[in-house]
Structure 1
Amino acid sequence: MPLRATDPDPGTLWLARSLWDSGAVQFGTFNIGTTIASPIYINARRLISNPRTLRRIGELLTDETRTLTGMLHPHLAPFELVAGVPLGGLHLATAFSLTADIPLIYPNPKAREHEAYEEIEGAYFPGQTVLLVDDLITGGRSVLESAETLRSAGLMVHDAIVLLDRQGGGQAALDQAGIKLHPLLTIESLLNYLVARELITQAQYARALTYISRVSGGG
């Protein structure tokens, strides 16, 4: 049965709606670090200003990780720590840590400039497994840099979970580094939701899908 405008949004469709309601989704022409200008920009950091939304995200991340680790053939490796990718993933990882009762650490980029800062903030032991958390992924550079910092300290990184995959090659880049990506949403599923709800026009939808196809190598 199709969703109606009055139905509550189940699961990650709630996240799609929250991104829209918070003003995180914008249409225009944006340079987001890819070779092709993007017709859509998503500022997921807008979500952190709403305590209820941030709490719900912590619950979503907890539910998703428990589902993935509880499968007969788990899609997510067991982990002992959660690490936020600075800066976009740090607040989300904090919400997840509080909800799931899992210790939090994070790579500190300021350590490169100031000796007073630890390269990794928080308590950990070499050999522990860390789950990376970020808000968005495009090409994967931020996640890979964080993984490299953690691995250099003797920690193991097998998985990363993000709110949204912009489908800009990040999954392939993480695969090459031995990291499995777990997005709650893809940009395509977000667009499908928005156009089905008549929150965006068919022209905006088509332009964004064309962009996704080009940056993902589909055309």
Structure 2
Amino acid sequence: MSAASAAANPDPRAFRREFVDFAIRVGVLRFGEFKTKAGRLSPYFFNAGLFNDGASLGELSRFYAQAALASGIRFDLLFGPAYKGITLAAGTAMALAALGHNVPYSFNRKEAKDHGEGGNIVGAPLSGRVLVVDDVISAGTSVRESMELIRQAGAAAAGVLIAVDRQEKGQGELSATQEVGRDFGVPVAAIATLDDILATLRSRPDQKSNIENIEDYRRRYGVAA
């Protein structure tokens, strides 16, 4: 973020609540009753796959770029796990370049090619400090696969950047994001967390029932930050 934009917007976390407003506006963040992979009935649902046109993807990429810079994570390359991470890494690289930070990116194929350039990595070679860009961390499978690819290439994992951290328990007392941070010793940053979602909703008088439902859900399944 430039010095000019920082001066115009003194709250360094403001972009996180702006992202939540944006996700609600385009229908990506929804409220109601949704069954999670863990079988829980969640009062909200975030579906990054619904950022499915040029305008919304461009805006999403700008938020990812802001979050990458705000995280303080030092990185040399962006890596997008197949499949959702491919578009996210490419979009984030473009948005970072527009902010004056031109970094390479790469992504993996699900199956390695045995012709042409071969292999299962497309784009820039995996090297240096690698920031993994994905939508969310549920079971953490794609992140773990990414970490293995980075290790095999002789690069170093710098961290993980996701859109939303639900801050909720996985199978144990830790969240999936906390487990990734513990297992790989890297920071996990998010554009927004459940804290940011609640902070945004509290500024909206018409969201009282959603706030109450989310806070009740959090009391049952939430983890400490």
Contact conserved, 1:48 with 1:91, CA < 8 A, in 2? no
For 1:20, the equivalent position in structure 2 comes to: 24
TM-score in terms of structure 2 length = 0.75
Contact conserved, 1:30 with 1:38, CA < 8 A, in 2? yes
Letter in 1 for 2:47: N
Which among 158, 163, 174 is matched to residue 180 of structure 2?
A: 174
For 2:222, the equivalent position in structure 1 comes to: 216
Contact conserved, 1:158 with 1:178, CA < 8 A, in 2? no
Identity %: 23
- Name the SS for the 1:89 alignment partner: helix
Which among 57, 61, 67 is matched to residue 60 of structure 2?
A: 57
For 2:197, the equivalent position in structure 1 comes to: 190
Give per-residue Cα distances to partners, 1:162-194, cap 9 Å, x unaligned.
121111312211122212111110023213312
Contact conserved, 1:89 with 1:133, CA < 8 A, in 2? yes
For 2:209, the equivalent position in structure 1 comes to: 203
- Name the SS for the 2:214 alignment partner: helix
Letter in 2 for 1:59: R
Note if 1:44 corresponds to 2:13.
no
Give per-residue Cα distances to partners, 1:66-99, cap 9 Å, x unaligned.
344xxxxxx41x3221011333332221111123
- Name the SS for the 2:136 alignment partner: strand
- Name the SS for the 1:86 alignment partner: coil
What pairs with 1:28-39 in structure 2 (closer than 5 Å)?
Answer: 28-39=32-43
For 1:132, the equivalent position in structure 2 comes to: 132
Structure 1 residues not aligned, in runs of 5+: 1-8, 69-74
Contact conserved, 2:67 with 2:190, CA < 8 A, in 1? no
- Name the SS for the 2:94 alignment partner: helix
What's the offset of the Cα at 1:10?
A: 4.6
Distance in 2 between residues matched to 1:43 and 1:89, nearest whole Å = 14
For 1:88, the equivalent position in structure 2 comes to: 84
Question: 1:102–1:196: structure 2 CA closer, same or farther, 3 Å change rule?
Answer: same
Distance in 1 between residues matched to 2:58 and 2:163, nearest whole Å = 14
- Name the SS for the 2:82 alignment partner: coil
- Name the SS for the 1:105 alignment partner: strand
Question: 1:191–1:139: structure 2 CA closer, same or farther, 3 Å change rule?
Answer: farther
Note if 1:105 corresponds to 2:106.
yes
**Count of residue pairs the alignment pairs up:** 198
RMSD: 2.6
What's the offset of the Cα at 1:145?
A: 2.4
Letter in 2 for 1:66: L
Structure 2 residues not aligned, in runs of 5+: 1-12, 97-101, 169-174
TM-score in terms of structure 1 length = 0.77
Letter in 1 for 2:41: A
Distance in 1 between residues matched to 2:123 and 2:77, nearest whole Å = 10
What's the offset of the Cα at 1:124?
A: 0.8
